[in-house]
Every structure is written in C-alpha cells, then in structure tokens.
Amino acid sequence: MKEELLQRKIIHVDMDAFYASVEQLDNPELRGKPVAVGGNSKRGVVSAASYEARKFGVRSAMSSVIALQNCPELIFVNSNFKRYQEVSDQIRKIFYEFTDKVEPLSLDEAYLDVTQNKKGIPSATLIAEEIRKKIKEKTGLNASAGISINKFIAKVASDINKPNGQKTVPPSEVLEFLEQLDIKKFYGVGKVTVKKMYRLGIFTGKDLKLKSEEFLNTHFGKSGRFYYHVVRGEHFSEVKSSRTRKSLAAERTFSENITSEIFMIKKLEDIAKEVEKRLKKSKVAGKTVTLKIKYSDFTLQTRSKTLAYYISNKDIIVETVKDLLFQSGMKNSVRLLGISLSNLNTDKGKPTKEKVVAVQLKFEF
C-alpha cells in the first residue's frame, strides 16, 4: 500500500435505525417497543424498523402484511421527513465542529476525513467517540462508527458493532481484515456478481486476492481493476466535501402502494416543489427531466426527456413528468416516485437562463 494511504484517517458515521429512532425519541410511549415507519394496510410497505422490530425479522422494504406476521405487536407510524431532516441538520453541525471534510451520503450517514482536524486530536478513534457522545447529548440518538484508512473499510467497519458502537481497523490490521471479509461486503458485488464470484471460487477477500488483475479484468471487465486494488487496501476515493452536481433529485416512498394516476400526479406536484427548491438553492437549472418509478414488486423504471432549454420552475417540471407518466402504461401499483433534473447549467457566475413557458393546467378525468 502507498504510504500516504496509510496516513489517512477516515470515519464513517451511521445513525442507528434513524427514522424509527427519531419516532421513538419524539414519542416516549414507543420506546422499547417494535416500531415500523410506513403503512400497515395490505399494500403497505415498511420504510424503516426499530431494533426491537428487527429482532423479529422485520426489515425495510418488507410488506406490512409479512412484517405483522413476523411481529404481531408491531406498531406502525407515518413517516415525517421534515423532522428527520431537522435532526440530520443538527448532526451535521456536530461533524463540522471537527472537520470541514464531510461527505453526507444520506440523512443518516456521512464520511469524515479527520486526518487534519479542528480539535487537533491525533486519534481518529477518540474523535469518533467524541462525535458519537455529542450526537447523543444533542439529539438523544445513538450512532455507530467505523474508522480506518479509507472510505470502503470505514463503512464496512461501522456495521460491525451496531447498534451504538464503533470499530477501528488500524493500518496494521487492514490486510487481514480484508482477507477475512465476506465477498458480499465488497463494493459492487450484488446478487448477480456474487453468484459469478462463487462460481469462480471466490468467497472471501483472501480468495479474491489470489486472483490476478488480468483474471479479474477478463471476468469482471472494468470492475476487475477495482476489485484487485480494493482487496489490497488501495481505495483512493477522497472524502468529497463539495461535489460538482450532475443532477438534482427528490423522491418519495409511499407507506401504501398507489394505483390512482390522479393521486400520482398530486404526489409528483409535491416532489416537483422540492426539486424546484433545491434547484433555486443551488442556483442551477436543468434540461433533462427524469421520472423514476418503483413498482410494488420492486422493479425500477426510469423515463427521461431532454428539453431545448433550461428549466427550474415546478409547473414546467410537473407538465414534463406528466407527459412521461402517460407515455406508456403502468405495469403495477407504485411504491416510489422520483423526479431528477440533470444536464445542469452549473455556471453560478451567470444568471440561469430559463425559457418562460406558459403552462396550461390539464385536468385528468
């Protein structure tokens, strides 16, 4: 491994059962009980589950019917993303007390590079402990953390001592840690790839390490080079505190699967408002509009349209996604809708030029 990689100190902080924990925090009567965020109807889906519920096999994306079969005492609550965002903002402020190199991955997890930190604390392990302590004091919630020389190992490590724990993989233990790691834990190894790995006799990091780069390139294409290096602790990705945005998006998972197109349009209007807000905040506009649809059987479909002009107005966004929605039939009931704008005008030094389009409201009967 390169010497500069060994000197990096990366922390991955992951909140424990975040959505469900916020609900238990705000509603004392839910504490210590199995809680699921989502809808409890026949078409409902679990968005998040408390640790008490997970003991009964309740998991996110599980049918509410199956969840109740596993745990008859399960308590369902509706999601409150505005509240989750508020708590997430409080947590991120704590991160910035220690370093400006923070890369949020979602509302409940982030990478931090604390190689050089504001507190002058030499130990990344101690920094992680302090961060978790402050999160508990400020929000009342528990966080877990992984600490190592790169983002990949830190993320894997953060899951080892959950909930409310942390795991450090120092430079001297990195290679042994990776060799013992189940191949399913490696980046990019999904259901299809893992079957291929198994057929090739690759079950652990040690098995992967025995394969030559040429062998991995032959069987896994461009990913082969990545696998060859990552199992040797050579993962070069930096903590990106400010990314150049390629797209802006918002999506909603519904507590109950929906079939009504009129209801879908109402939800898309709400999502478009959020996209507009994010576009205005970032001072950008986009030309390519993409509608994301996830069906009740978890198949995913995207439909895109590229316009001749930049847009950021919610009404224009809605009219465009409505065209995409009706361009072909729906194959099933829907559990998630999302809207993204890409092909962005990212030159913030110039005012965004957006074509003014008169939008006539269309009423669906």
Render pLDDT for 54-94 as a digit per residue (tens, 0 to 9).
999 999 888 899 999 999 999 999 989 889 999 999 999 99
Residue 351: its pLDDT value, please?
38
Architecture of the structural domain at 247-344: 2-Layer Sandwich (3.30)
Question: Is residue 151's pLDDT more than 50?
Answer: yes
3-state secondary structure 146-212: EEECCHHHHHHHHCCCCCCCEEECCHHHHHHHHHHCEHHHCCCCCHHHHHHHHHCCCCEHHHHHCCC
Q: Which residues pair with 11 in a beta bridge?
A: 112, 147
Q: DSSP label at 163?
A: S
Average pLDDT over residues 254-271: 90
* 3-class secondary-structure state, position 203: coil
Q: Where in the chain is the domain with CATH 1.10.150.20?
A: 181-225
- What are the tokens at 167? 């795991």
Domain boundaries for CATH 3.40.1170.60 within the chain: 18-81
Q: Is 65 exposed, middle or buried (0-12, 13-18, 19+ CB in 10 A)?
A: middle
The pLDDT value recorded for residue 140 is 98
Residue 95: CB atoms within 10 Å:
22
Q: Please give the C-alpha separations between residue 315 and each of 105, 323, 334, 341, in angstroms, as whole numbers.
A: 29, 13, 23, 14
* Per-residue pLDDT at 355 exceeds 50: no
Give the span between the Cα atoms of 79 and 355, in whole angstroms: 36
Q: What is the mean pLDDT of the chain?
A: 90
What's the CATH number for 3-16+84-174?
A: 3.30.70.270
User: What value does the mean pLDDT take over residues 241-262?
Assistant: 81
Mean pLDDT of 289-293: 95
Give the mean model confidence (pLDDT) for residues 318-339.
Answer: 88
Q: pLDDT by residue (tens digit) across 20-61?
A: 999 999 999 999 999 999 887 777 888 899 999 999 999 988
pLDDT at 349: 38
Q: Is the pLDDT of residue 348 over 70?
A: no
Q: Give me the numbers of helices (H) and strands (E) for the chain, helices first please.
A: 14, 12
Amino acid 81: pLDDT:
87
Question: Could you tell me which CATH number the domain at 181-225 has?
Answer: 1.10.150.20
Query: How far apart are the C-alpha atoms of 150 and 5, rounded to whole Å?
Result: 8
Q: What pTM, to 2 d.p., does this model score?
A: 0.73
Low-confidence winner among 56-65, 191-200, 215-224 (lowest mean pLDDT): 56-65
* Spatial separation of the C-alpha atoms in residues 109 and 107, rounded to whole Å: 6
pLDDT of residue 296: 85
pLDDT at 353: 43
pLDDT band (50, 70, 90) for residue 358 = very low
Residue 25: how many other CB atoms lie within 10 Å: 15
Q: What is the pLDDT averaged over residues 273-288?
A: 91
Q: Which among 150, 151, 180, 145 is positioned nearest to 15, based on CA atoms?
A: 145
Q: Name the band, by pLDDT with cuts 50, 70 and 90, for residue 283.
A: confident
pLDDT for residue 337 is more than 80: yes
Instruction: Decide if pLDDT at 356 tops 50.
Output: no
Instruction: Report the pLDDT value the prediction gives residue 350, as an integer from 0 to 100.
Output: 40
Nearest to 336 by CA among 249, 250, 256, 252: 252
Average pLDDT over residues 258-281: 92
Average pLDDT of the residues in 296-319? 91
Average the pLDDT over 245-269 and give the result. Answer: 87
Residue 80 · residue 48 · CB < 8 Å: no
Q: Residue 45: what pLDDT?
A: 83
Question: Is the per-residue pLDDT at 362 higher than 50?
Answer: no
Which are the contacts of 202, defined by CB distance < 8 A and separation ≥ 6? 183, 208, 211
For CATH 3.30.70.270, the residue range(s) in the chain are 3-16+84-174
| Phi, psi of 261, rounded to the nearest 5 degrees | -70, -35
Residue 297 pLDDT class (50, 70, 90 cuts): confident
What distance in Å separates the CA atoms of residue 283 and residue 364, rounded to the nearest whole number? 33
Indicate if the pLDDT at residue 278 is higher than 60.
yes
Return the higher-pLDDT residue of 243 and 108. Answer: 108
Active site residues: 109
Residue at token pair 């209007």: 269
User: Does the structure show a pLDDT above 50 at 186?
Assistant: yes
Secondary structure (H, E, C), 21-42: HHHHHHCHHHCCCCEEEECCCC
Say yes or no to pLDDT of 276 above 50. Answer: yes
Q: CA 328, 334, 335 angle in degrees (round to 5)?
A: 150
CATH architecture, domain defined by 18-81: 3-Layer(aba) Sandwich (3.40)
Confidence band for 245, pLDDT divided at 50, 70 and 90: low
